[in-house]
Amino acid sequence: MTTTTRLHYLDAVRAYALLLGIVYHTSLSFLPIFIGWAVMDISTSDWVSVFVFISHAFRLEVFFLIAGFFSCMTLQKVGIKGFLTSRFTRIVLPFLLGWILLRPLLVSGWIMGAESMQGEANIIAALVTSFSDFKGLSMSLFVGTHLWFLYYLTLATFLTLLLYLLHTKLSQFTPKLAGRMHFILVHTLTRKGLYLLVIPLTTCCLWYMQHWGVDTPDKSLTPQWPVLCLYSGFFLFGWVLFNHQNTLADFMKLSAFKLGVWLCSCIAAVMLSRYQMQYMHEYYLQIKVAFVISYAVMMWTSCMLFIGLFKKIANKPNAFTQKLADTSYGLYLVHLPLVVWLQVAVAELTMPLTFKLFIICTSTVAISLFLIESVKFLKNIFMNNFKSEPKKGMRHQ
């Protein structure tokens, strides 16, 4: 594949996977069971639980897979130095700046959520408390942010780059061994080999999670190894797919068989998840084994169908999709404080659940877009003024 080709359907996949994350976070206040989220709405639904359960199984996995694909493309296009520069600008810098800017707003949202469930929220007091919380950085460095995925994306990128450099050196000094490894890789990435490889590896990662499903490692900078292995595996898989187009085509091919397997695995995983807290059940371990297998199958088939769907419906240039793809990353970075504040605002209102969901999602996207465009506008003004200033020692004509 040439590095200049723009894959419109993958732009759409990345954009809508991140937008799905906004809907996912919006839905958390409507769960029928309190999970420690900022606030619990008076309107709840069991169907929201099903949506949250299934979407959590693949939305970030798709993002990491696509990130690996485009990272390999970027490396081949700009080289190691340009690749490291772009990764620092797109991943590390947003993580550092986003944490500083967004953390107080998120903490204040949690404070107001707790207050609203007990009576009435005090916005000013919540903000003051959240900013004073910076004093306890050493105790709660990673708590209260949703940008942990950038931290794990950085680690996954670093690990994959190490493997790439190792393979490059191996090809130079021991070409026969490198050729055998490439032969094994190509044959592993056939349809049968692919499923026989990724499903067991994913199952192993899921088995060692702290909870059933995929853990959210947002409490510490110390990596949770099952989570890191899982997301790094999807990143590496996307990286490899860039150079194996036949495997990519088979991976995202839509079929009735894939749809049937996905549906059965979803039903099985949802039903089995009910036994998570029943530690004394006679067949608890057997049920967990069945759960992690069905969850792994649901995860991979969801990724296949999600990418395949956009390959079918968004494979041509589209101005709206391209604009959405260009802004979706920024939308996801800034969305969570807005979501939490809006959830708190509507939590006690007697409105239909779907209307609340719609209001929160659309308002979040609209406000986020306004903030992003405002920052771009101010940046352009600053850059234009900077360029227009004459350099010292130069004469005006």
Q: Is 392 helix (H, G, I), strand (E, B) or coil?
A: coil
Q: Give a three-class secondary structure readout of 76-112.
A: HHHHHHHHHHHHHHHHHHHHHHHHHHHHHHHHHHHHH
pLDDT of residue 63: 92
For residue 389, being part of any structural domain is answered with no
Residue 280 DSSP label: T
pLDDT of residue 274: 92
For residue 2, being part of any structural domain is answered with no
| Measured distance CA(163)–CA(76) in Å, rounded | 15
Find the domain containing 180 and state its range: 8-382
CA angle 76, 79, 82 (to 5 degrees): 120
For residue 206, being part of any structural domain is answered with yes
Single pTM value for the model = 0.85
User: What is the number of structural domains in the chain?
Assistant: 1
Residue (of 162, 180, 297) closest to 235 by Cα position? 162
| Measured distance CA(242)–CA(245) in Å, rounded | 7
pLDDT of residue 246: 78
Token digits of residue 146? 């949703």
Token digits of residue 299? 């995860």
| Measured distance CA(165)–CA(380) in Å, rounded | 38
For residue 394, being part of any structural domain is answered with no
**Which mean pLDDT values do the consecutive 10-residue runs of the chain (397 residues) have?**
68 88 92 85 89 93 93 90 90 85 75 66 54 49 70 93 82 64 56 72 93 87 90 91 82 90 95 91 92 95 92 82 82 87 85 92 90 75 62 46
For residue 61, being part of any structural domain is answered with yes
Q: Which amino acid is at 348?
A: E
DSSP string, 222-243: S--HHHHHHHHHHHHHHHHHTT
User: Helices (DSSP H) in 314-352: which residue ranges?
Assistant: 319-346
| Measured distance CA(142)–CA(126) in Å, rounded | 19
pLDDT of residue 397: 39
Q: Is the dihedral of CA 358, 364, 369, 374 positive or negative?
A: positive
Residue 143: CA count within 13 A, CB half-sphere? 12
pLDDT of residue 187: 54
| Measured distance CA(21)–CA(60) in Å, rounded | 8
pLDDT tens-digit profile of 156-168? 999 999 988 887 7
Residues 40 and 350: beta-carbon distance below 8 Å = no
Residue 91 CB contacts under 8 Å (≥ 6 apart), including other chains: 150, 153, 154, 157
Residue 92: CA count within 13 A, CB half-sphere? 12
For residue 369, being part of any structural domain is answered with yes
For residue 387, being part of any structural domain is answered with no
Token digits of residue 173? 């000094």
Residues 326 and 372: beta-carbon distance below 8 Å = no
Residue (of 5, 157, 11, 1) closest to 84 by Cα position? 157
Residue 136, CA distances (Å) to 2, 128, 219 in order: 49, 14, 14
Contacts 24+ apart (CB under 8 A), 208-211: 211/276
pLDDT tens-digit profile of 204-243? 999 999 999 999 888 777 889 999 999 999 999 899 888 8
Residue (of 251, 215, 253) closest to 231 by Cα position? 215
Residues 104 and 112: beta-carbon distance below 8 Å = no
For residue 371, being part of any structural domain is answered with yes
For residue 258, how many other CB atoms are within 10 A of its CB?
Answer: 17
Residue 210: CA count within 13 A, CB half-sphere? 7
Question: First CA to last CA across the chain, in angstroms?
Answer: 50
Residues 303 and 13: beta-carbon distance below 8 Å = no
Residue 210 CB contacts under 8 Å (≥ 6 apart), including other chains: 224
**Biggest CA-to-CA distance, the chain:** 89
Residue 9, CA distances (Å) to 15, 219, 307 in order: 10, 34, 8
